[in-house]
């Protein structure tokens, strides 16, 4: 017996899948820690933000932008998912214990910044705010560096969709024009920040281009 698939049923099925996807995306993002900042100026999709001090784990990689961030992401994910050393001191009269493979919570965004050298990138994860430089597990991979950043100010443009090269070019021009118009002094190259897992629908994605300010 053939089942009759009505247009109404198809619309219902598509709507149901979309709602489940939205719910999962919302649940995942709501559980992810993000760096703390204050917005001190806002204009459309551009903000000037003042970030609190933070700890980051970073690795330097070489290659094209997409392959570089993919390689850097895998190395940093390996670190936070357990390839690290965790040392806990249990009082003066107890021995120092060591426990391998402590898992560190995932955070957003994944940050990518090009260095002055062509095709040479830094990929960064912001560490959860519960850690200090003393309590954060040390990476077993010597290529990964733990860096403490002081409070900093950034000019940031936010956009959704896929972070294609054409999209990055368009929004970079917008933030460049804003920086020039406001006569802002920047430090270093642009910073790219990506907040979502790869299965996130394009219109739900959050991407940013940032410039550190003097």
> What is the spatial distance between Cα 209 and Cα 24, in angstroms, rounded to a whole number?
26
**pTM of the predicted model, to two decimals?**
0.79
CATH of domain 34-213: 3.20.80.10
| Interval 165-197: pLDDT, tens | 999 999 999 999 999 999 999 999 999 999 998
Of 51-60, 61-70, 93-102, 199-208, the poorest mean pLDDT is in 93-102
Let me know: does 51 contact 152? Beta carbons within 8 Å: yes
Decide: helix, strand or coil at residue 70. Answer: helix
Q: Where are the domains of the chain?
A: 34-213
Of 85, 106, 82, the residue nearest 29 (C-alpha)? 106
| Interval 10-41: pLDDT, tens | 444 444 444 444 434 443 344 578 899 999 99
């Amino acid at each position: 017996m053939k089942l009759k698939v009505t247009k109404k049923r198809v619309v219902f099925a598509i709507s149901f899948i979309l709602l489940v996807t939205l719910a999962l995306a919302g649940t995942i993002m709501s559980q992810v820690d993000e760096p703390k900042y204050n917005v001190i100026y806002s204009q459309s999709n551009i903000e000037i933000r003042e970030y609190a001090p933070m700890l980051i784990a970073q690795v330097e990689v070489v290659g094209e932008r997409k392959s570089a961030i993919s390689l850097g992401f895998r190395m940093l994910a390996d670190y936070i998912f357990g390839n690290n050393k965790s040392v806990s001191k249990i009082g003066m009269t107890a021995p120092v214990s060591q426990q391998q493979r402590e898992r560190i919570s995932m955070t957003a965004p994944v940050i990518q910044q090009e260095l002055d050298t062509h095709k040479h990138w830094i990929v960064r994860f912001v560490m959860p705010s519960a850690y200090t430089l003393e309590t954060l597990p040390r990476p077993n991979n010597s290529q990964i560096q733990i860096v403490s950043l002081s409070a900093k100010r950034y000019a940031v443009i936010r956009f959704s969709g896929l972070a294609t090269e054409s999209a990055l070019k368009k929004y970079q021009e917008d933030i460049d024009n804003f920086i020039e118009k406001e006569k802002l002094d920047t430090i270093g190259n642009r910073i790219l920040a990506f907040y979502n897992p790869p299965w996130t629908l394009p219109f739900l994605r959050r991407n940013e281009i940032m410039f550190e300010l003097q």
